[in-house]
Amino acid sequence: MHDTANAHGRDFFALYWQPHFRDVVELGSQDVNGSLRAHAPATASYIGLDAVAGPGVDRVVAQGEPLPLADACADVVVTSSALEHDPCFWETFLELVRLLRPGGLLYINAPSNHAFHRYPVDCWRFYPDAGMALATWARRRGMAVELVESFNAMPGVQGWSDFVAIFRVPGPPLMRRGRLAQSGAAGDTQNGFDIESPGLLDERADTFDMRALAQLRDQLLACEREREALRARLARTESELARAYDAILALKPAP
């Protein structure tokens, strides 16, 4: 798990967990440099699913197969850094929604931009409208689900720009202690949706890496200008030294 995925998952549980929640299911739960399980309350009953056995995996499930859990068995379903490796993630999304009770929450973190990383394949990146598209797809398949919030987050030290989305099965009133997009971990976000705000929030066409590249180009241009100024200054100094040398020679007495 990379740095920002870990931080967003931590803040999701801090902001959205409710006292009546009990059952959590995670898809892609193998502990690789950290796990979302560490951020769930100690009172939670936690089931970790993954395609391979390993630390943090309670049940191994074959990719593409129905999840071996009953309908409406969970209050919270989470998946982080997994859907980009799923050839048919939209079908998996329906399975994750199926597990939720009324009022239950689905948390998704998937890369919007960064390195190609096969595990064993790397198929997808998620753009800002992905959350609304997934909610529409579920409704077309007869499943009630709504997008609570989503956003693209600024990369951390490890370079991943995360797409983060939280979905909800209608039920009791939504309760949260704030927007995840406004948490300390999220930092600068863009192109967000929120159930309490109309339209796209913090809309920008340029991605974080595009802005970083533009900044580096500006810095390079400034360095090139400084270099040219130093070259001109050096040329003037060399000319002054040459004139001074000629003047010294002119002061020497003839032999």
pLDDT digits (tens, 9 = 90+) for 156-167: 999 999 999 999
Provide the token pair at 125: 């990146």
Q: Where are the alpha helices (DSSP H) in the chain?
A: 3-16, 89-98, 130-140, 208-251
β-bridge mates for residue 78, sequence order: 26, 107
CB 193 within 8 A of CB 200: yes
Place of tokens 């803040």: 11
- Of 130, 96, 97, 98, nearest to 111 by C-alpha is 130
Give the pLDDT score at 198. 87
**pLDDT tens track of the chain, all 255 residues?**
899 999 999 999 999 999 999 999 999 999 998 899 999 999 999 999 999 999 999 999 998 899 999 999 999 999 999 999 999 999 999 999 999 999 999 999 999 999 999 989 999 999 999 999 999 999 999 999 999 999 999 999 999 999 999 999 999 999 999 999 998 766 789 999 999 998 899 999 999 889 989 999 999 999 999 999 999 999 999 999 999 999 998 887 766
Domain with residues 3-205, CATH architecture: 3-Layer(aba) Sandwich (3.40)
- Sign for the pseudo-dihedral over CA of 8, 14, 19, 22: positive
Q: How far, in whole angstroms, is CA 128 from its chain's centroid?
A: 11
Place of tokens 């990379």: 2
DSSP strand pairing (146-153 vs 161-168): antiparallel
Provide the token pair at 23: 């059952």
Q: How high is the mean pLDDT of the chain? A: 94
Residue 203 to residues 197, 212, 255, Cα–Cα distance (Å): 13, 17, 81
Number of residues that this document lists for the chain: 255
- Of 1, 73, 75, 71, nearest to 40 by C-alpha is 75
Give the pLDDT score at 96. 98
DSSP strand pairing (59-60 vs 45-50): parallel
Region of 111 on the Ramachandran plot (φ > 0 left; ψ -120 to 50 alpha; else beta): beta
pLDDT in tens, 38-55: 999 999 999 999 999 999
CB 191 within 8 A of CB 151: yes
Sheet containing 59-60, strands listed edge to edge, beginning at the edge strand earlier in sequence? 59-60, 45-50, 23-27, 74-80, 100-113, 161-168, 146-153, 189-194, 197-201
